Chain A
Amino acid sequence: MDPAENDKLTSTAVVETDEVLAPGHTYRSVSDRVSDMVLTWPVGYRWAAGLALALGLLFVLNVALGWVFTIGVGVWGINIPVGWGFAITNFVWWIGIGHAGTLISAFLLLMRQKWRTSINRFAEAMTIFAVACAGLFPLAHMGRPWLFYWMLPYPDTMGVWPQFRSPLVWDVFAVSTYLTVSLLFWYTGLLPDLATLRDRAKKRVTKMIYGIIALGWRGSAEHWSRYETCSLLLAGLSTPLVVSVHTVVSFDFTIAVIPGWHSTIFPPYFVAGAIYSGFAMVLTLAIPLRKYYHLEDFITMKHLDFMGKVMLATGLVVAYSYIMEAFMAFYSGNPYDRYMMMNRMTGPYAKVFWTLIFCNLIGPQVLWISKIRRNPWFLFAISLVVQTGMWLERFVIIVTSLHRDFLPSSWGMFYPTRWDWMTFLGTLGLFFTLFYLFIRFMPMIAIHELRDLVHKTEHEKAPAH
């Protein structure tokens, strides 16, 4: 390939394509494009502005958590009967979002889906940041957060252990395992790219930093062979985790006796919902990224189309669950379940419920239309709608179930306070701060996998060498 063509490929012209990789890319062009995003200085003003906004929200989080830790969780709107409010809603929401990354990188890897290549890296990063955000909430929502370690089975001189029948203890294990495995998987995948950056960096300091974190990757055949084995093993480990984490999170509710929580449909329903919101988040991140970093030839129409389809599929599972939940409430003849369902639909939180139904059930049905799946801005809007819907879903499950349970005398209402909102918006700040730093300092697309893809697509096109 002549240099002129290479220049064209590394330029910023919009090339929409239906392949998983725009045609004409070479090993060098993909490496240039991705590593340049990290190694080019100075930073763009748009990135800086975005980071500043995210840092502003992070500051809000600091203030909110500072106040919560100083005064107590009473600064939130929670009460008796609604003992969990925004905090657990946010926790489940963030954990759900954190599902897409691992699903894309591990599950699709095992399925040998080529289209995962250009989105898996930032999706994995998103997972880790989302889990980090999620992890804040169980800690912050505790009445005495300084005693959080009592949830862990550490050797205590008094011989006390966590109470292993509690799903909250299972949560601790599920989420921490998930975070650990996701982090390892992500970092392992980063190693060859970090080495690429080390090799391409011009400044000594940059070289040294990437050199250290590349852990001495030289790209030898032995390295690659071990890398492949390791990736496969971690993918094998992560895949069941994708299913298990949200299953365990759903146990927080199903184990309880509260109408609206006590339901066997929750584990699959939660997992589907998690993937639904996770893919929505990937789209929310991918669409602006491909626009501002001109990655249309890496994150192609085909990717958007596939992700739209995954959303549609998981959205239908979620819809089925909603319908089944309502059906079972009436079919079971259980007066508490019936009342709970009627109260969701007609009670004081009915507006929230119907908004959720619109966001998760009705709105995304436009994804049946191929044109819409291939329209980035439409897709972006739908991804936001779905994320809103998924947040509301968790809110509805938690708050409407608790606020009117068995004894009518103890019914109550939950109204979020400004501290609830600040904590929630603050975690968005934390998430985007981490994400902005990530896209600036780490290769947001897996370079070595792109190279591999270049190799494979060339072979497909020219099978007869």
Chain B
Amino acid sequence: MNEAKKEMSASKLVQIGPKPEGTQKRFWRSLDEFEGAPAYQKGLKYEYPEGRVPKALTGGGGLTRRDILKLMGASAGLAGATACTKLPTEKIVPYVRQPEEFVPGIPVFFATAMPFMGVGSGMLVESHLGRPTKVEGNPGHPSSLGSMNLFGQASVLTLYDPDRSQVPSHFGRVATWEEFIAELGDHLADERSTGGTGLRILTGTISSPTLADQIQGLLKDFPRAIWHQYEPCGRDSVREGSRLAFGQYTNSVYHLEKADVILSLDSDFMFAEPGSVRYARDFASRRRMPDPGARTNRLYVAESGPSITGSLADHRLQVRSCDVEALARAIAAAVGVAGAGSSNPPAGVPADWINAVANDLKAHRGASLVVTGDIQPPAVHAVVHAMNEALGSADQTVTYTVPVEANATDETKSLKELVAAMDSGSVRTLIVMGVNPVYSAPADVPFLAAMQKVNFRVHLGIFHDETAAQCQWHIPEAHYLEAWGDVRGHDGTVSVVQPLISPLYGGKSMLEMVAILRGQTYASGHDMVRDYWQNQATAAHLPVAGNFEDFWETSLNNGTIAGTAYPARAGGAKAGAIPAAGSPAPEGMELVLRPSPSVWDGSWASNAWLQELPQPFSKLTWDNALLVNPANATQLGVKQADIVKVRVDGREIAAPVFVLPGQAANSLTLHLGYGRTVGAGSGTNVGANAYEIRTSEVPWIITGVSVVKTSETHHLVTTQNSHLIEQQGRYVDDEESEQAFDRQVVRVGTIEDFRRNPDFAQDPPEMSTRAPSLYPDYYDYRKGYQWGMSIDLNTCIGCNACVVACYAENNIAVVGKDEVDNGRDMQWIRVDTYYRGDINDPEMYNEPVTCMHCENAPCEYVCPVGATMHDDEGLNLMIYNRCVGTRYCSNNCPYKVRRFNFKLYSDWTTPSLFPLRNPDVTVRSRGVMEKCTYCVQRIRETEIIAEREERTINDGEILTACQQTCPTKAIVFGDINDLNSDVRKLKAQTRQFGLLRELNTRPRTTYLARLRNPNPEIKG
């Protein structure tokens, strides 16, 4: 026994020693002690009491049978005696010092930002006792305005993803950070001697000022080292287009709230670009239409496949992506852009469409906007810049700034240079950070082969992915919620990325990694960011009021650094800069690669929430597929789920067919991001890897592809849209959509209809909304808070952000592909899609559906145990504890919004997922029904706060998770008894209608009808 232990036991014995003088209560540990037996007293002095020395120490013969019996007797007595003994008083102190604002049960919000494609969107992250559980947008951040897209919402799951890489590994074996430092040190020492000739760094697009500063510092340390950037779904053509137009890389910032007429040329600006969340809000601000007289905007979209932006188009032109250039030039010529080249429109585009669009744009000079997408070639971007200039929109609806990227560059070229250098053997040390080029490099860039010639390869990443598997060293990267950093928003505004939790697996951020490369082994991310901004502040680059400490705290608190938005710089796109039109796009089939609306470029493939998300329009889950126009499918003789091979230039890819209305003729779409093979968790081996057919020359729009049918099929799983009606081998209709419009599930009118008859969306008078009911009203719904929701179909873009937000807020389980196929997906809110018109060129409508909280709810009266009940605030409650799982409520729900735990879907065994869960929401077990609760936990929390403060709840104080994240604010929740509440006002609009009101369900969730604003010049 060591000294410390002896002391401890001695002091204990003093404390509880025998016969304390004059005390009534005595504490004792054995009968001998109680009796004060001399042997016991003696024993206190020795390590082993006499007679109890282990046999091994006495050389045998220590204990006799009698001793054993005595001991047994004593222990038996002791065992009985303990029951009536009070144990010594011990104090347990929970916190030595309780951290400020750290109250168990009350979440704390921290401002931070998530880099996505290198650009940040500000967020507020909810933290429960140090565990981030939910991401919200930061209302003060210009790229967010309080909303968040699905990737931001899903990022908390990535933080806790059980498939994250958890330890540094060396050739796939567990290693230590110190070993890595040591080995890296050797290699860097070599590099230092040559100025870093053999050192290359590869990252994604970086906008972080501090990280860029660190990397520049590194490049100073190693003057001949090179920093490469490659983002698989990057914006090379946007940059190149701006360089053509302006002579230098320029960042465009749109101001959609000012635009009356918008022309989108294959751009999904409301979903797939930096600033999309903001753009969607600005766009929607012109579509709220509180009354028929309100001014709205008009959106023209020309695109090859249905996009989120396209679904809101007033005129949507289906055109091959490769024809967009000709279309752009034709429109440009029509609006008077000199040098636009040929004005011949692509085949199949009616001339009057082009003229009508051009006239409309010209008629709204200065209030029109033309945008084009990341996948369009630079020439189209140059044309678009010239058009905006010609239309007087430059500096009005679009402003220009310096690039948001810290080091804007041609990334594809950068990657090719790196590969060439590696191939030539001149690269000795390669540090790959935050990207996965082995998976995502174009097929004609032999990254893997070249990389294997590099002597020392290091990969820093959140997952042990394809690239990690090919590197000697893999270091787990810190998630953005675990590390310090900073990032710029779409307009240049800088947010400090604050960690909410210390790295779960000891991961390192890129910033820390660069510091290590610079030899600053123990530099902390926090100090680097803070020091950088302190330098900036003192260098008077910032309007610093007061001292730096105040500035820093304000910046952290607000989530943005004031004054960092880039000022607009003069536009002046040169029309003459438009490259001459090349030969027209070849006839025949094109293949368009696009980032997946669920897993983007594949970096989100491990995220089960995103994998299970029904993709917009197709409603596919857990797969990607070759999206084919119905007429093309007939022509090719392929059916849903047939595997086909797409061939071009000797490369081919096999993928299953998905027949999708809204897809342009002769245009196939395949989403990137699938077919991951290593380290993508549940997303491993899901779908087809479209990178295999992608080249650096034609990264997006591949023309002249041939499609070869195979005899195989693949099991595709969707949550909707499997009812295309086939007649004589032709797809003629979509039964679901046909029925939906017959049943007036979606109500649509034109602005003209609306102005002529503001009540066009109302139910006919004979369909009374308050027909008598057999049962009495149990509550007086005219009193107190009465919760209700309004969903505006005129602004819903169907982006799925609400669905993912609901996952995070309500601990919704993921069920997997097979169970989705069985019809057992658990999402509480779904976005329904319906088509109207020609199946080959339809209008598309999104309709989010969630629990309607019917006042006269069909689910309630059929439950045999009263597990679903109404409360006096009009909420349809679900009492999980009481549910026995007869599923009658779901059968009787006309909206089919209830979800049942047919098996044990919630993960009760993976420890890393436990901290993810929202502690305010029950994690459901098997056999229980569940459904949207209007985020009752948020309602109750606010009610308690308001009650404590003796006040009523203000409008907007309670936001449901779907409402809070909705980029367009299409979802509004509140008290319908409050005359001034937004929801009350929305429900008073004449566009309001309730789903299936004729069933006398009296739904609390109602919709605002969709409006279309067609150009009368365009027929059909």
Contact = CB atoms under 8 A, between A and B. Distances in A.
B999 A80 contact: no
Interface string B845-878: 0010100000000100111111000000000000
A166 B861 contact: yes
Interface stretch (B203-211, B556-564, B698-706, B731-739): B731-739
Contact of A257 (B865, B884, B894): B894
A74 B861 contact: no
Contacts of A83: 887-888, 890-891, 900
A165 B775 contact: yes
Contacts of A335: 742-743
A162 interface: yes
B883 interface: yes
B534 to A, nearest CB: 55
A53 B898 CA distance: 42
B891 A163 contact: no
A365 B863 CA distance: 41
A144 B736 contact: no
Interface stretch (B240-248, B262-270, B926-934): B926-934
Nearest to B847: A409
B823 interface: yes
Contact of A72 (B740, B884, B902): B902
Given A168-B886, A405-B896, A72 B901 contact: yes
A410 B886 CA distance: 19
B822 interface: yes
Nearest to A71: B903
Interface string A129-167: 000000000100111110110110000000011110111
Interface string B824-858: 10000010111000000000000101000000001
A56 interface: no
Nearest to B892: A256
Contacts of A147: 884
Interface centre among B736, B740, B775 (most CB of A within 10 A): B736
Given A73-B927, A143-B887, A256 B862 contact: yes
Interface residues of A, number: 51
Given A143-B884, A144-B927, A406-B895, A166 B823 contact: no
A148 B823 CA distance: 26
Nearest to B858: A257
A412 interface: yes
A77 interface: yes
A78 interface: yes
B993 to A, nearest CB: 14
A407 B740 contact: yes
Contact of B822 (A72, A77, A336): A77
A411 B736 contact: yes
Contacts of A408: 723, 735-737, 739-740, 743, 745, 834
A144 B739 contact: no
B716 interface: no
B887 to A, nearest CB: 3
Given A80-B823, A412-B823, A407 B894 contact: yes
A147 to B, nearest CB: 5
Interface centre among A78, A80, A168, A256 (most CB of B within 10 A): A80
A150 B884 CA distance: 8
Given A169-B864, A408-B736, A408-B739, A142 B892 contact: no
Contacts of B737: 408
B730 interface: no
Interface centre among B740, B861, B865, B899 (most CB of A within 10 A): B865
Nearest to A143: B885
A410 B896 contact: yes
Contacts of A412: 823
Contacts of B900: 80, 83, 143
A396 to B, nearest CB: 15
A73 B902 contact: yes
B904 interface: yes
Given A168-B864, A255-B862, A405-B894, A143 B882 contact: no
Interface in B730-773: 735-737, 739-740, 742-743, 745
Contacts of A151: 864-865, 884
A407 B891 contact: no
Given A79-B823, A142-B886, A147-B884, 6 more contacts: A74-B824, A74-B903, A81-B891, A83-B888, A258-B891, A410-B895
Interface pairs A-B: 5 shortest CB-CB: A143-B885, A143-B927, A74-B902, A79-B823, A83-B887
11 contacts: A71-B903, A74-B822, A80-B899, A80-B900, A83-B888, A143-B902, A143-B927, A150-B882, A258-B892, A409-B830, A409-B834
